[in-house]
Amino acid sequence: MRRPDLVVAAAPMAAPTFHRIAVAVADDPAATAGVRLAAALAARTDAEVPAVHVSCRDAPCWGPSAADCGLREPDLSLDQAVSHLAEAGVRHRAERWQALDDRLLETLVAAADEYDADLVIVGCRRRPGLRGRLRRSLGLSLAERTSRSVLLVR
């Protein structure tokens, strides 16, 4: 018995509209790809891009940082993100957030809420080994903790 041909007609989908696209910035290739994607989306939708760099510290700092002491290279990823967003010609702002006790996830949720972001872009890197595969990524954890749209970039 022959089945009738199925014809599916779909209405053209409207492009998503974003007002604010928050992007998590880090010294990481996946985060850099996230900044580039945020710039491209913002250019198409005339959205503002809050670039958020979260640094973790176990306790409040009373003295010089490790970078100030020459123990660690300074992280220039936020400056590089701002340069890329400016070159793309999109409205943007850049802020550094401080997460105490390694509460990176909670800090990113708070930043997305404060900016009232329509979309949050987070870079995800592959972790080697079994332990890396079993560990939940920051982006997936963020998607579980917020009602905002989250886009993971590798």
Distance CA 89, CA 87 (A): 5
**Residue, of 70 and 24, whose pLDDT is higher:** 24
Residue 120 has a pLDDT of 95
Give the pLDDT mean for 4-23.
69
**Residue, of 124 and 10, whose pLDDT is higher:** 124
- Reported as a pLDDT band with limits 50, 70 and 90, residue 111 is very high
Answer yes or no: are the C-beta atoms of 94 and 53 closer than 8 Å.
Answer: yes
pTM check: above 0.85: no
Give the pLDDT mean for 106-116.
94
Answer yes or no: are the C-beta atoms of 91 and 48 closer than 8 Å.
Answer: yes
Residue 80 has a pLDDT of 95
- Reported as a pLDDT band with limits 50, 70 and 90, residue 91 is very high
Q: Is the pLDDT of residue 152 over 80?
A: yes
Residue 46 has a pLDDT of 93
- pLDDT tens digits for 67-79? 555 555 667 899 9
Give the pLDDT mean for 15-25.
88
- pLDDT tens digits for 128-147? 555 555 456 777 888 888 88
The burial class, CB within 10 Å (0-12 / 13-18 / 19+), for 75 is middle
- 21-58+75-153, superfamily in CATH? HUPs (3.40.50.620)
